Structure 1
Amino acid sequence: MPSVLTISPFRATLAALSLSLAVALPAAATAQPLAKQLFGAERTGSPHVSEPFGGYSKGCLAGGQQLPETGPTWQAMRLSRNRNWGHAETIDFIQDLSAFAARQPGWNGLYIGDISQPRGGPMTSGHRSHQVGLDVDIWMRPADNVQLSRNMRENLSSILVTTRNEAYVNDNWSQAHFEIIRKAAKDRRTARIFVSPGIKVQMCAQEKGNRNWLRKIRSWPAHNYHFHVRLNCPRGADGCVEQAAPPAGDGCAEAQTWVNNILNPPPPKPRDPNAPRPTPRREYVLADLPQACAIVLNPQ
């Protein structure tokens, strides 16, 4: 096992490299390989204490911890991706929520999709976020069997809990889904949860008591077969960049607007022929990420 570095040596190394990185990396940025290639090639976490650096969509993860492939109330899915790595707090969150899920009718726990790569960073495919080990995709499929083989976990799919247009929940939606997502939202560690618009509207209709937690439930397309939990930056993680807090209120009117626009799409805005073409998003190289990410990749 590699020796675990403490925060102090990590920060000392970072301070020593800051000047050289500040000069060398920007000048060489165009010659560097893509950050997703560098981070996607890493198979294990770095030998540091667990700490996120940067933002959810532009950062990396020191000391990533691997969620065990199978636990008493969870299974990590699609193991070939090697994305069952996260911050220590994320691993604890998954274990806690899955134990709650196992008490719901028809559920023995949770099926866990992507968390992060072993050292976080941009992914080779699929996500723009999930870079600092604080995001996790949780399947909507009830985990009735938490003893699936590796092969089954590669081929089993989740289920849709909405209609195809995501405006309404379908017959797969259950009280257990509501309870599990509400439990996740009420957790103090949770910053926000992304679900399809129809799910948010349904949850707004089901809640008859305290609605404060609904603020964390945010509408986002293509989140009808999993829900995406994003945790707050852990206490003391000075290099972690929080996302702005959700708007005030329960967000239910906003979610209804999403659904209304699905059912009755507004006319497209006229295109300005003189408007400049949008600049294509550039893929990140290592120089674009926080300086600490160079040490996460090369801790020697």
Structure 2
Amino acid sequence: MRRLNRSLALIASLVLCACAGGADTNIDGTPLPDVDPATLQGVAKGAFGAKRRASAQEAAAYGSYAKGCAAGSIQLAETGPTWQAMRLSRNRNWGHPELVDMVKKLSVKAAQQPGWNGIYVGDMSQPRGGPMLTGHRSHQIGLDADIWMLPARNLTLSVAERESISSISTRRSAGAFVNSNWTRAHHEVIKAAAQDKRTARIFVFPGAKVQMCKDEKGDRAWLNKIRPWYGHHYHFHIRLSCPKGARGCIEQAAPPPGDGCADAQEWVNNILNPPPAKPRDPNAPAPQPRRELRVGDLPQQCAGVLASR
């Protein structure tokens, strides 16, 4: 009886290992090489920033938007019928297949707006996600994309032009209001992005959210996804929810219920009349600089993503 129990336990453990093996194998089922312990101690942004291609794995997002990685990403084509990827030297036009599909579909809707032939796509993710060498703390799991506020009128920009051209700012008064660059088309493009069921939230400067709240006369449910945040006046930031059935992908907490317009107005009020700064406690310890994330700080699947072909 004991032998039978041991045999059953062994079989069960083998089944569990086989079920979990997808995260630790190449897409063809071959096992990944052992990870050098030194790799786990390496600075994550250097390790992930050095990878020029995606991992040969099933598409997956591991971890959270600001602490994770992406397996099996696909590359958004540098140029499409209604989009162009910008700053190609950064090699950040990669993402989960759901993100790439969403961006393409949004570009078609943007091309229907007056003065827009599509969209200019800024940073998405690195080929294997992870922390970036410069810039963002998020964009790590292949589910974030920045869309320029500059209407994409010319979709034949050269590689060199895409390095030198800049987007436009749509804010004034430090983000309390929109400026003359803001148009109803911006409203409609952002609305189309928010109405995609895969979208979890969209970050934009507070004045834009308040303006959209004033201008929207129809269904307002989509406004809940528009979240005021610092910056985000040269581009708006789309964040997708974890793909359906994803394992190991950590969702951000859902926005509070309601359209969020009162919250955006509070942001604007604080810009126009900043609350008094809290005095610093002289006995409080000095803030320590944030430590760079190491590979070992990320979900364990991320070492396998780095090691994959």
Residue in structure 2 matched with residue 272 of structure 1 by the alignment: 281
| Cα displacement string for residues 225-258 of structure 1 (whole angstroms, at most 9, x for unaligned residues) | 1000000000111110000001111111111111
Gaps of 5+ in 1: 1-6
Of 290, 302, 306 in structure 2, the residue corresponding to residue 281 of structure 1 is 290
**Counterpart for residue 4 of structure 1:** none
Number of the residue aligned with 1:47: 56
1:225-264 superposed matches below 5 A: 225-264=234-273
Tell me by how many angstroms 1:43 deviates: 0.2
Partner of 1:125: 134
Equivalent residue number for residue 82 of structure 2: 73
Displacement, 1:218?
A: 0.5
The answer as to 2:183 corresponding to 1:183 is no
Q: Distance in 2 between matches of 1:224 and 1:84?
A: 20
Residue matched to 1:93: 102
Quick check: 1:172 aligned with 2:184? Answer: no
Residue 153 (structure 1) aligned with residue 162 (structure 2): yes
Q: Runs in 1 of length 4+ with deviation above 3 angstroms?
A: 11-14
- Which amino acid in the other structure matches residue 98 of structure 1? S
Secondary structure in structure 1 of the residue aligned to 2:48: helix
CA distance in 1, matches of 2:280, 2:41: 37
Distance in 2 of aligned mates of 1:151 and 1:206: 38
For 1:89, the aligned partner's letter is E
Per the TM alignment, residue 164 of structure 1 is displaced from its structure 2 partner at its CA by 5.0
Mapped partners of 1:11, 1:53: distance in 2: 10
Note the C-alpha offset of 1:123.
Answer: 0.1
Which of 213, 224, 228 is 1:204 aligned to? 213
1:271 shift after superposition: 1.6
Q: CA deviation at 1:198?
A: 0.4
Is 2:301 aligned against 1:292?
A: yes
Paired with 1:160 and 1:12, the residues of 2 have a C-alpha distance of 44
1:10 aligned partner: 22
CA distance, structure 2, for counterparts of residue 258 and residue 56 of structure 1: 24
Of structures 1 and 2, the larger Rg is shown by 2
Pairwise CA distance, 1:215: 0.8
CA distance in 1 between counterparts of 2:256 and 2:119 reads: 29
> Which amino acid in the other structure matches residue 11 of structure 1?
A
CA root-mean-square deviation = 2.1
Length-normalised TM-score, structure 1: 0.91
Residue in 1 aligned with 2:4?
none
Partner-residue secondary structure (3-state), 2:254: coil
Mapped partners of 2:303, 2:42: distance in 1: 13
Distance in 2 of aligned mates of 1:106 and 1:11: 45
Unaligned runs of 5+ in 2: 1-18
For residues 106-121 of structure 1, the aligned pairs below 5 Å read: 106-121=115-130
TM-score computed with the length of structure 2 as normaliser: 0.88
Q: CA deviation at 1:9?
A: 4.6
CA distance in 2, matches of 1:248, 1:276: 38
Q: Distance in 2 between matches of 1:293 and 1:267?
A: 43
For the pair 1:224 / 2:224, whether they are aligned, the reply is: no
- Kept in 1, the 8 Å contact 2:129–2:139? The answer is yes
Q: Compute the displacement of 1:277 (Å).
A: 2.7
The number of aligned residues is 287
CA distance in 2, matches of 1:211, 1:276: 46
